[in-house]
Structure 1
Amino acid sequence: MSTTTAVVETAQVNPNLHGFGRMRVDGTDRPFGDFRDDLTRDGFAIVKGAIPKEKAMKYADEMFSWLEGFELGFDRKDLATAHKDKLPLINEKGMCLNYALPHENFVWGVRSEPGVVSAFEKIYDDEDLIVSFDAINFQFPNRTDIAPNKPWPHQDQDPEKHGFRCMQGLVNLLPNGPEDGGLIVCRGGHLLSEQFHKEMADEERIPAWTPEWYGFTERGMKWLDDHGCKWEKLCAEPGDLLLWDSRTPHYNLSPKNSQPRFAIYTCFMPVADATQEDLLRKKDAFDRRVGTTHWPNAKHTGSNVAQRDGEDDPHNRLKPLVDPVLSERAFKLTGIPYIKAQNA
């Protein structure tokens, strides 16, 4: 996410937490026997069927309806209508950040799906989690009305802060094959991240709005290739959860054929890694129904005011069409119940 109103440093990851990249609870480093072994070895994993396929397709249907609900002329039955003049503001990477979309009821439905939450509970060996209010991805094939989505290999982590710090994720909601766009990852790149940044310390940085983003130059890409790191396109079915370590180099591509790509970003972290200041900022974001980046501790918060051609979009929304109805478990994911002053 790129639109922010605050840039705030957060607490360091609690080294006593168990889970991915750490010793197991029993003090050993034996394999987990599940997707966490893929995460440890490769820096990414796919959790198959985190949401039942039929339910995932229902969420995708709600995403189509949300787009059509602007009544700008988009029609899911005619993908030629996937045009910037007939859609809310969606950038060339497929990201939609505004319009209170991160808090639509269907988005919260995906975030709070048991199969999604439980995967992160396993990663962190912790049930006290908070979730990001992250962007939603709509990508349509053969678009010529917006800038092309060129490869943008990057890490979502400050190169001066080493070690595991954040597990990123997305729920895939439409069939996603080799030519259908989606997530491209660099296998094993996370394990070489510290070495990379030491050896490439003199490399001029690609400008970024936050230090928690590092873009790979051609020289950096050659370094990864020279060290045996290979790029892979992840394919997924509706309801699959894709996970990747924020140190893992990655980017996305747009669909090439006729299948759109829909995904909802779902990133969790232990509430123990958030300060009370973080939680208060997160509560403010929830109350105002604005988004955050992938950092669940609301490291940056956004705006519901999209701009079209330099002007405020007349179709802006400051609240969701369907306000979220949260279960007790989902409400905990907002972080609000963990605010001490709130409960004093």
Structure 2
Amino acid sequence: MSATTTVTETVQANPNLHGFGRMRLDGTDHQFGDFRDELARNGFAVVKGAIPREKALKYADEMYTWLENFKLGFDRNDLSTVHKDKLPVINEKGMCLHYGLPHENFVWGVRSEPGVVGAFEKIYDDEDLIVSFDAINFQFPNRTDIAPNKPWPHQDQNPEKHGFRCMQGLVNLLPNGPEDGGLIVCKGGHLVSEEFHRDMADEERIPAWTPEWYGFTDRGMKWLEDRGCKWEKVCAEPGDLLLWDSRTPHYNLSPKNSQPRFAIYTCFMPVADATQDDLIRKKDAFDRRVGTTHWPNAMHTGSNVAQRDGKEDPHNRDRPLNDPEFSERAFKLTGIPYIKAQA
């Protein structure tokens, strides 16, 4: 393609550019009449009301209660108590990864909501899914007690592995407008991902802890701009499910006004795309109540050892406050029922 190829021209020239699971999603034609058309065209979509609003606000209330139960002085009604010394360890991007949090009952409640699971069933045309044990996001406005959240535009996909590989998602639990922080995406960036990495093959990589992460340099950002890719802040209401192709460049913004941002990351994939070794590793992560990043096949697993000021947090815990209660359908999402007995 020429140096002036735009996103639209790329779509028109590659009608089968995106493969979601076992499906082929066309980037130009409206084949489904639902959010999947936006996923194909833009690389992201919002599924409105995946969880009823009042139920979503109840989950947000449980998140507040979880923070307060550390008894470090945080009070949801007093934003002056938002301070790293009064909270569990939450990084500048709002991520909380430890304390058994990925397995709290309210987190599993969100993951197993029918409207959330059902959206991924549509994407993959498959009901046999597994879910990530991913991070939870607590972002509060106007924080000065931690490092500023600087933009870190990236793809969550190895640039040497092309095509669709992972559908990322999060459930938004509080009102989230233009100034309330949250997800920002590069619209249509997934369409030109393969061309980008071909043209930028000589670009020095930003260091990353996993090859399944690619950070965009200023030169890369200019390349995307020249192809007509525009950055867009995704707004949402409580209970909305935000979805994006892992090839879509993205990052998150911090809230600017007075509204906190709460979200639970929810990524699914067909169990058929995981090996037995993946499922065994995933079971081990579940048994230890640790996280797995956004990869449902437990490509990476974490720990419950948070570091506070360079030392192990004395408030660490290795089990959730409230262990999950599973329906049969929800337990399948752990992947454990799909592990075959050893001969």
1:35–1:46 Cα contact (<8 Å) kept: yes
Query: Match of 1:9?
Result: none
Query: Match of 2:244?
Result: 244
Match of 1:21 among 21, 25, 43: 25
The one-letter amino acid paired with 2:195 is Q
Q: Deviations over 1:167-196 (max 9, x none)?
A: 000000000000000000000000000000
Query: Match of 1:227?
Result: 227
Q: Deviations over 1:191-250 (max 9, x none)?
A: 000000000000000000000000000000000000100000000000000000000000
Query: Match of 2:215?
Result: 215
The one-letter amino acid paired with 1:334 is T
Query: Match of 2:158?
Result: 158
Aligned partners of 1:264 and 1:20: how far apart in 2?
28
The one-letter amino acid paired with 1:167 is M
1:19–1:122 Cα contact (<8 Å) kept: no
Aligned partners of 1:20 and 1:231: how far apart in 2?
25
Instruction: Name the TM-score, length of structure 2 as normaliser.
Output: 0.93
1:283–1:335 Cα contact (<8 Å) kept: yes
Alignment of structure 1 residues 163-182 onto 2, 5 Å: 163-182=163-182
1:20–1:124 Cα contact (<8 Å) kept: no
- Residue 169 of structure 1 aligns to a residue in which SS? strand
Aligned partners of 1:305 and 1:326: how far apart in 2?
26
The one-letter amino acid paired with 1:231 is W
The one-letter amino acid paired with 2:191 is L
| Structure 2 CA distance for partners of 1:143 and 1:288, relative to 1, 3 Å | same
Q: Deviations over 1:223-279 (max 9, x none)?
A: 000010000000000000000000000000000000000000000000000000000
Alignment of structure 1 residues 1-344 onto 2, 5 Å: 17-19=21-23, 21=25, 31-341=31-341
Post-superposition offset of 1:341: 1.7
Aligned partners of 1:20 and 1:118: how far apart in 2?
19
Name structure 1 gaps, 5 residues minimum.
Answer: 1-14, 24-28
Q: Deviations over 1:291-333 (max 9, x none)?
A: 0110000000000010111111000010000000011000000
Q: Deviations over 1:120-175 (max 9, x none)?
A: 00000000000000000000000000000011100000000000000000000000
Query: Match of 2:9?
Result: none
Name structure 2 gaps, 5 residues minimum.
Answer: 1-18
Post-superposition offset of 1:21: 3.3
- Residue 263 of structure 2 aligns to a residue in which SS? strand
Post-superposition offset of 1:80: 1.2
- Residue 290 of structure 1 aligns to a residue in which SS? coil
2:104–2:323 Cα contact (<8 Å) kept: yes
| Identity %, equivalent residues | 85
- Residue 63 of structure 2 aligns to a residue in which SS? helix
The one-letter amino acid paired with 1:243 is L
**In the comparison of the two structures, how many residue pairs are matched?**
324
Post-superposition offset of 1:86: 0.2
2:305–2:312 Cα contact (<8 Å) kept: yes
Aligned partners of 2:310 and 2:150: how far apart in 1?
23
Q: Deviations over 1:17-42 (max 9, x none)?
A: 4336379xxxxx86111000000000
Aligned partners of 1:250 and 1:275: how far apart in 2?
29
Aligned partners of 2:320 and 2:20: how far apart in 1?
38
Aligned partners of 2:72 and 2:258: how far apart in 1?
21
Aligned partners of 1:280 and 1:30: how far apart in 2?
39
- Residue 37 of structure 1 aligns to a residue in which SS? helix
Post-superposition offset of 1:16: 10
